[in-house]
Amino acid sequence: MQPGKYDHITDAELLQNFYQDHDNKWLGILLPRYTLLLLGVCMKYLKNEEDARDCVQQIFLKVINELRKYKVDYFKSWIYMIARNHCLVKLRDHKKTTLELNEHLASATNAESDKKKLLEKDALLQRMESALNKLNPDQKVCVKLFYLQKKSYSEVAEITGFTLMQVKSYLQNGKRNLKLLIENNP
């Protein structure tokens, strides 16, 4: 084809010719007229020249396929909408991929954080058990009954034979000694 040979033919006439004989040469004349418009639309949304150029090519392919299925009357506004929608889908997919990646990273970070917390909790429980075994026997039995077996003051007194005042004293001193032993034995 010679340059400028079809410049006088309107978009509507090119489309009409395409709908009559389905020859892609008519689209080959029509589509280059819109390259800059499409590139501008894609740059507006994607902010990246390489991505925008790729999208223009993808839009041209989509337009060729769509024109085989549908009759378009207002080509310029139609192709603009095709380009805008294509860019929005691309942005949404990119955002979705980024979000999924961020969620995966956050999940991995949370898993590491959870694992670290469990290890810290396990270490604390081991220190607590070790400290509990270092308490004097009266404090130890009262602390175990009250805190681990959830017995009341009066139940602890009944089980051990201590007075209520002794139970309170053993618990108070046992709790304080446990705290000191745990803090001083990291």
Calculate the CA dihedral of residues 65, 69, 71, 77 and round it to 10 degrees. Answer: -40
For residue 18, the model assigns a pLDDT of 92
For the record, the structure tokens of 134 come out as 């270092």
Q: Which architecture, in CATH terms, is 11-96?
A: Orthogonal Bundle (1.10)
Give domain 135-183's CATH number out of 3.10.129, 2.40.128, 1.10.10, 1.10.357: 1.10.10
Residue 132: the pLDDT is 83
What confidence score (pLDDT) does residue 186 get?
Answer: 62
Q: What is residue 83's predicted lDDT score, i.e. its pLDDT?
A: 92
**Backbone phi, psi, residue 43, to 5°:** -65, -40
Q: What residue type is 171 in one-letter code?
A: L
Taking only the tens place, the pLDDT of each residue in 82-91 is 999 999 998 8
Question: 20: exposed, middle or buried (C-beta count within 10 Å: 0-12, 13-18, 19+)?
Answer: exposed
| Region(s) of the chain under CATH 1.10.10 | 135-183
Contact in structure between 82 and 59 (CB atoms under 8 Å): yes
What is the rounded average pLDDT of the residues 149-171? 91
pLDDT tens digits, 12-60: 999 999 999 989 899 999 999 999 999 999 999 999 899 899 999 999 9
Q: What angle do CA 152, 157, 163 make, to 5 degrees?
A: 130
